[in-house]
Amino acid sequence: MKSDRASFAASLLGVCAVVLAAPAQAESLAGADSEAANDTEDGILITATRPAYRGDFEGLEIPQIELVIGQQQLRDINALDLNTALDLSASVARQNNFGGLWNAFAVRGFVGDENLPSNYLVNGFNAGRGFAGPRDLSGVEAVEILKGPRAALFGRGEPGGTINLVTKRPKFESAGEIRLLAGSFDTYRADADLQTTLGDNVGVRFVGFYEDAGSFRDTIETERFGFMPSIAVKLSDATRLVYELEYARQEIPFDRGVVAVDGQLGVIPQSRFLGEPGEGPNIAEVFGHQIELQHDFSDNWSALVGVNYRDTSLSGTSTEAELTGSRQLLFRDGRTLTRQRRFRDYDATYFVARAELAGNFATGDITHRVLIGADTDRFENDQVFLRARAPSLASNPSLQQLQAIDIFDPVYGQFPLPTLGPLTDRVEVQKATGIYAQYQIGFSESFELRVGGRYDDYDQRLTNRANGNVARTGESRFSPQVGAVYRATPELSLYATYGENFRPLSGTDFAGNPFDPNLSESLEGGIKYAAANGRMTATASVFSIQQSNILVADQLNAGFTLAAGEARSRGFEFDFNGEIATGLDLWVSYAYVDAQVRNDVADPDFGLPIEAGDRLLNIPEHTLSVQLAYSTRIAGREARFGGGVLHVGERLGEVGTDFELPDYTLARVFAETELTQGVRLRLDIDNLFDTDWFSNSFSQLWVQPGTPRNARVTASFAF
């Protein structure tokens, strides 16, 4: 541990020397004033309430990295889903997306529970929990990557960082935009964003979308729609109320992707579907409510009270590759894939209520900024899981018993779909109540110190309805954070921070006892630059994260797990965003991440041996994302065009083996022009050079291929 910290300190000094020699820019930060502010092409967007859990800070005053992908960046890449947006940040890596049914990502090398979607926040509320399907960006104004541990304020979460979505809220004006899109693979989509006022004190906004899309994958079609109305009410000059509703429904076929044969990818076309089209789609739904009330007692003090409730569900059947070697015929003949059939009926509800007080005051030349709050939440995860599985190859089963398919000449519907049997029937309830505080003191104009912490009391109950067993645990935990900021110049600051994090683990061990929570501690430091006019920002940082109590196989009790694994992630990041010349915007994000296991353990899924020093799954060492866009006028009309490059390095594709996903580099271009007042036409071409690539995998038999070259045309009508 001491050597890690010494190495970290040396790296930090190196980063500072490099950036001081050639200042770039720090992150553009939402929330620059007392209300949430995000860059848009029209300037500053003012929403009705300040960001929760954050306080009132400029970017250079925060001893952590908060990278914001604003509305202009989202439009430049024509991002329709969360994965596309997160590709702009090199610190985020794609993970196993559960057959396309949810978002899964790692921040700074670490991911959460592989059997649940990655958690993210919406306006500071936990919203990724549950089974709502991949997140659409129709109602999202900005995507924030809050790097580093955040448990000191947000509570239990991921050690690498937190994703927060800032939604589109009423702006107290009458305006609207309709967008119509047509693209490759029979993709059609419509978006609407309409808002108006009801008198001087009420703003209303309606955002909705509908999408009907084919795919480069054989037989795969999806249909999705959603609407997100909101209302903001100025109860007085000092009091504001915002209510948001969210409903979305998605019909998504379950698709585990392609297979590697003897560790070799590319033996079958990227388009080949190895499931059963007759299964039909899986259905994911979400119905949620969020309400926030903010009251300003003065220019310096305000209170925020909020409540959030989300109900999500996921159900459907799938036929997918069998991973166990004793049942998998492909490992013997190289062409016949053994499959299993599964049915899932998942439901989850999440409720949270919070209240916080934020303010600042001065004593002489010393400034004080305080954030104090409390919250309580309840998360219920109800899962019913059925399965039909092939017998061992040692019993000489028939092709029908294996649910077999020829990967080179697939015949769908060749055998009747097998009858499913029970496997999992359980409900887990997590309850937590926490209090938190953050205090940042400015001893001078150049030096500020932040201390913060959160005390959580949580209760976890797991009921196995199949056998009636109930496992329950409860624990109290304190999560501290301390950081310092040194303002070297008005445009340049150096920072360092330390924080701890925890995350409850689902399930029980062999004895029926719940697991101790996953724990982590993080060191981070770096340098930030922000031009005085705010048009150019950059950050450079180094980090080191230690994680313990990771679930691994119980080698004494087959089929059970222990919270005994350890891992470490450390690396370097650089982010730049700004206008480098008149009308010319540049976005650069680079990350080097060294994420590896720290002790000899066995894989919890298959019992494969993992040695200390092995890499973590789906984590590239090097990632680079670059976007360049230029605005001008052609024949008196506005025009914007540009492109980008994404490079992702080699990644481990299956734990306990040397199977790797190859690196890839993708290029994209776009052009948009104004035809008449309020009418725009846009062309996007993604994967310009038609590169074969693979976004993520769980094993050699579950590998997700990436989309080949595709084009989209979008017409927008603003009024």
Give the chain's end-to-end CA distance (angstroms, integer): 59
Q: What would the pLDDT profile of 6-53 be if each residue is shown by its tens digit?
A: 443 444 334 334 333 333 333 333 333 333 333 333 333 334 466 677
Q: Is the pLDDT of residue 206 over 50?
A: yes
What span, in angstroms and rounded, lies between the C-alpha atoms of 318 and 85?
A: 28
| Exposure on the CB side of residue 634, measured as CA atoms within 13 A | 10
Mean pLDDT of 156-165: 85
What span, in angstroms and rounded, lies between the C-alpha atoms of 607 and 564?
A: 14
Q: Are 668 and 644 in contact (CB under 8 A)?
A: yes
Helix, strand or coil for residue 131?
A: coil
What span, in angstroms and rounded, lies between the C-alpha atoms of 604 and 264?
A: 24
Q: Is the dihedral of CA 228, 155, 94, 97 positive or negative?
A: negative
Q: What would the pLDDT profile of 274-325 be if each residue is shown by its tens digit?
A: 999 999 999 999 999 999 999 999 999 999 999 999 999 999 999 999 999 9
Which one has a higher pLDDT value, 442 or 114? 442
Specify the DSSP element, H or E, that contains 13: helix 2-21
Which one has a higher pLDDT value, 355 or 555? 355
Burial class (CB in 10 A: 0-12, 13-18, 19+), 393: middle
- Provide the pLDDT for residue 380: 96
Tokens (6 digits) for 360: 């600042």
Q: What would the pLDDT profile of 123-144 be if each residue is shown by its tens digit?
A: 988 777 889 999 999 999 999 9
pLDDT above 90 as % of the chain: 80
- Provide the pLDDT for residue 264: 96
Give residue limits of the domains in the chain: 2-718
Confidence of residue 156 (pLDDT cuts 50, 70, 90): confident
Confidence of residue 115 (pLDDT cuts 50, 70, 90): confident
Residues 6+ apart with CB under 8 A from 199: none
- Provide the pLDDT for residue 397: 97
- Provide the pLDDT for residue 308: 95
- Provide the pLDDT for residue 473: 85
Q: The tokens 């921040």 sit on which residue? A: 107
Q: What would the pLDDT profile of 220-249 be if each residue is shown by its tens digit?
A: 999 999 999 999 999 999 999 999 999 999
Q: Are 541 and 483 in contact (CB under 8 A)?
A: no
How many Å separate Cα 363 from the centre of its chain? 41
Q: Are 595 and 624 in contact (CB under 8 A)?
A: no
- Model's pTM, two decimal places? 0.90
Q: Are 34 and 47 in contact (CB under 8 A)?
A: no
Q: Is the pLDDT of residue 679 over 80?
A: yes
Q: Cα 39–110–377 angle (5° rounding)?
A: 75
| Exposure on the CB side of residue 393, measured as CA atoms within 13 A | 17
Confidence of residue 413 (pLDDT cuts 50, 70, 90): very high
Q: Are 337 and 329 in contact (CB under 8 A)?
A: yes
Q: The tokens 């020397």 sit on which residue? A: 17
Q: The tokens 């069998």 sit on which residue? A: 322
Q: Are 521 and 535 in contact (CB under 8 A)?
A: no
- Provide the pLDDT for residue 548: 93
Per the prediction, the chain carries an average pLDDT of 90
What span, in angstroms and rounded, lies between the C-alpha atoms of 125 and 118?
A: 14
- Provide the pLDDT for residue 41: 38
- Provide the pLDDT for residue 26: 33
Q: What would the pLDDT profile of 483-522 be if each residue is shown by its tens digit?
A: 999 999 999 999 999 999 888 887 778 887 878 888 999 9
Question: Other C-beta atoms within 10 Å of 212: how many?
Answer: 15
- Provide the pLDDT for residue 42: 38
Confidence of residue 212 (pLDDT cuts 50, 70, 90): very high
Q: Is the pLDDT of residue 602 over 70?
A: yes
**Helices of type H across 108-193:** 151-154
- Provide the pLDDT for residue 558: 79
Confidence of residue 54 (pLDDT cuts 50, 70, 90): confident
Residues 6+ apart with CB under 8 A from 132: 102, 117, 248, 284, 285, 286, 310, 312
Mean pLDDT of 184-202: 97
Q: What would the pLDDT profile of 363-377 be if each residue is shown by its tens digit?
A: 999 999 999 999 999
Q: Is the pLDDT of residue 159 over 90?
A: no
CATH 2.40.170.20 is held by the domain 2-718 = yes
Tokens (6 digits) for 551: 């679930």
